[in-house]
């Protein structure tokens, strides 16, 4: 319901200059944003890789355990701290409700990060840099990563995965 009912042929009334400017600005902005998406896909440096493989959750679990045994340098709380050499294949396992192991990486070195879940869907979210990737059970998602700054980066889960979802935290230490 409006205060005044529209007169027949209202769409034929001339458009004000300001309105025309705003419509033009909005249209140009829409076109620009639409073009940026495919452009970003080609030239953007933050595109996730399209490398992933089918893997049984128990196999990924085993590979992560082997990775931990090979490169373990300590313990932090309930988690193993792992320091793999530069260029190594590294594993991050999501499970209800933890990310493990704690990864100790070197700045400006490249690693192949294998990410998966051994139970339900989890969302790996790296803070404070806000990088987000899905950890999907049954898929080994390989991300080529090169940390460009030092510090401690917390991993939280951003996919509701059960009663203790809010406690699901992990850590990447870049030295």
- Interacting residues with Cu ion (CB under 5 A): 157, 161, 165, 168
Closest CA to 54 of 124, 142, 122, 133: 142
Please, which residue, 80 or 161, has the CB nearer to Cu ion? 161
Whole-number Å distance between alpha carbons of 89 and 85: 9
Measured CA to CA, the distance from residue 169 to residue 139 in angstroms comes to: 21
Closest CB 167 distance from Cu ion, rounded Å = 9
**Smallest distance, Å, CB 159 to Cu ion?**
5
Give the shortest CB-96-to-Cu ion separation in angstroms: 8
CB of 143 to Cu ion, least distance (A): 19
CA 88 to mean position of chain CA atoms: 21
Q: Which residues neighbour 146 within 8 Å (Cβ) at sequence distance 6 or greater?
A: 108, 109, 110, 111
Q: Which is nearer to Cu ion, 110 or 125 (CB)?
A: 125
Other residues' Cβ atoms within 10 Å of the Cβ of residue 117? 28
121, with CB counted inside 10 A (0-12, 13-18, 19+), is middle
Output 88 or 118, the one with its CB closest to Cu ion.
Answer: 118
Q: Which is nearer to Cu ion, 120 or 174 (CB)?
A: 120
Inter-residue contact 162 to 117 (CB < 8 Å): no
Q: How far is the CB of 23 from Cu ion (least distance, A)?
A: 43
User: Closest CB to Cu ion among 88 and 161?
Assistant: 161
Contact partners, residue 63, CB within 8 Å, separation at least 6: 55, 91, 114
């Amino acid at each position: 319901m409006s205060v005044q009912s529209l007169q027949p042929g209202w769409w034929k009334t001339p458009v004000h200059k300001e309105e025309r400017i705003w419509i033009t600005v909005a249209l140009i902005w829409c076109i620009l944003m639409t073009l940026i998406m495919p452009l970003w896909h080609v030239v953007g440096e933050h595109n996730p890789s399209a490398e992933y493989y089918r893997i049984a959750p128990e196999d990924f679990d085993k590979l992560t355990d082997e990775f931990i045994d090979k490169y373990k340098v300590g313990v932090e709380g309930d988690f193993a701290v792992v320091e793999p050499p530069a260029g190594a294949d590294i594993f991050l396992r999501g499970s209800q409700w933890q990310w493990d192991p704690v990864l100790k990486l070197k700045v400006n070195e490249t690693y192949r990060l294998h990410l998966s879940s051994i139970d339900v869907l989890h969302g790996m979210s790296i803070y404070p840099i806000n990088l987000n990737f899905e950890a999907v059970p049954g898929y080994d998602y390989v991300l080529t990563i090169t940390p460009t700054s030092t510090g401690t980066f917390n991993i939280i889960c951003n996919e509701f995965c059960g009663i203790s979802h809010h406690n699901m935290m992990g850590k990447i230490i870049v030295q």
